[in-house]
């Protein structure tokens, strides 16, 4: 029974992974990325957007500072155009709840105001651990996947790719990178040395100069 369910799940999701810089992305680059993402969603009949759990950014109204221009801004743009997609994010154990609407907005060490996404709610977002199978795809339902033993800054993305291969069951996946930072470079270095352990990545990088 478990094997049958697993096979069914593997065949029904079509995934787009989104990564990028968490500050300093010009508006024209976000718009460029959004057009490319829309084309991929439409052409490949994408059902599921995945990212590494980076938070939504908020303005600092007390000091009149605009929200940080992170790649995560584009997740809201995607949701507003395609609100029946499934969104899946990765987090360390115990941290997935912080992206769900109603969670606290906090300032990080660099003065960025970070918090939840308005479209991730308690009634549509399920938090599970990385050893659990996903339930069959349902439009508009979302998941926070929690990973144990994340000790290095790049490990979440690496384990996320393994999850896509081994749990979701995809041997290849589309990836959009909106500005290639050190985390993405490190992930690709690790994957290139052990490529059989990961899905084949079809990567489109939008170059961002800051």
- Model-wide pTM > 0.75: yes
Number of Cβ within a 10 Å radius of residue 103: 14
* pLDDT on residue 145: 98
Longest Cα–Cα distance in the chain: 57
* pLDDT on residue 12: 84
Number of Cβ within a 10 Å radius of residue 145: 25
* pLDDT on residue 201: 98
Spell 42-65 as b/e; 16+ CB within 10 A means b: eeeebbbbbbbbbbbbbeeeeeee
Separation of alpha carbons 49 and 58, rounded Å: 21
What structural domains and CATH numbers belong to the chain?
Answer: 2-206 (3.40.50)
* pLDDT on residue 8: 40
Instruction: Say if CB 187 and CB 154 are below 8 A apart.
Output: yes
Separation of alpha carbons 48 and 16, rounded Å: 6
Instruction: Say if CB 199 and CB 162 are below 8 A apart.
Output: no
Q: Rounded to the nearest 10 degrees, what angle do helices 182-193 and 155-163 cross at?
A: 50
Number of Cβ within a 10 Å radius of residue 4: 8
Among residues 182, 205, 199, 202, the alpha carbon closest in space to that of 32 is found at 205
Q: pLDDT means per 10 residues in the chain (210 residues)? A: 41 91 96 98 98 97 89 98 98 98 94 96 98 94 97 94 96 97 95 95 96
């Amino acid at each position: 029974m478990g094997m049958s369910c697993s096979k069914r799940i593997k065949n029904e999701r079509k995934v787009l992974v989104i990564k990028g810089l968490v500050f300093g992305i010009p508006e024209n680059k976000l718009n460029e990325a959004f057009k490319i993402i829309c084309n991929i969603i439409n052409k490949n009949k994408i059902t599921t957007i995945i990212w590494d759990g980076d938070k939504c950014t908020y303005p600092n109204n007390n000091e009149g500072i605009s929200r940080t221009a992170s790649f995560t801004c584009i997740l809201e743009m995607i949701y507003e155009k395609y609100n029946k997609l499934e969104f899946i994010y990765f987090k360390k154990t115990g941290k997935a709840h912080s992206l769900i609407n109603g969670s606290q907005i906090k300032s990080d060490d660099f003065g960025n105001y970070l918090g939840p996404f308005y479209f991730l709610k308690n009634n549509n977002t399920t938090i599970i651990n990385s050893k659990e199978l996903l339930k069959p795809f349902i439009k508009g339902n979302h998941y926070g996947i929690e990973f144990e033993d994340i000790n290095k800054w790049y490990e979440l993305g690496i384990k996320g790719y393994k999850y896509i291969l081994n749990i979701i069951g995809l041997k290849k996946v589309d990836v959009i990178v909106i500005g290639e930072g050190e985390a993405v470079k490190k992930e690709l270095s690790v994957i290139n040395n052990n490529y059989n352990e990961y899905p084949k990545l079809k990567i489109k990088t939008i170059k961002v100069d800051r």
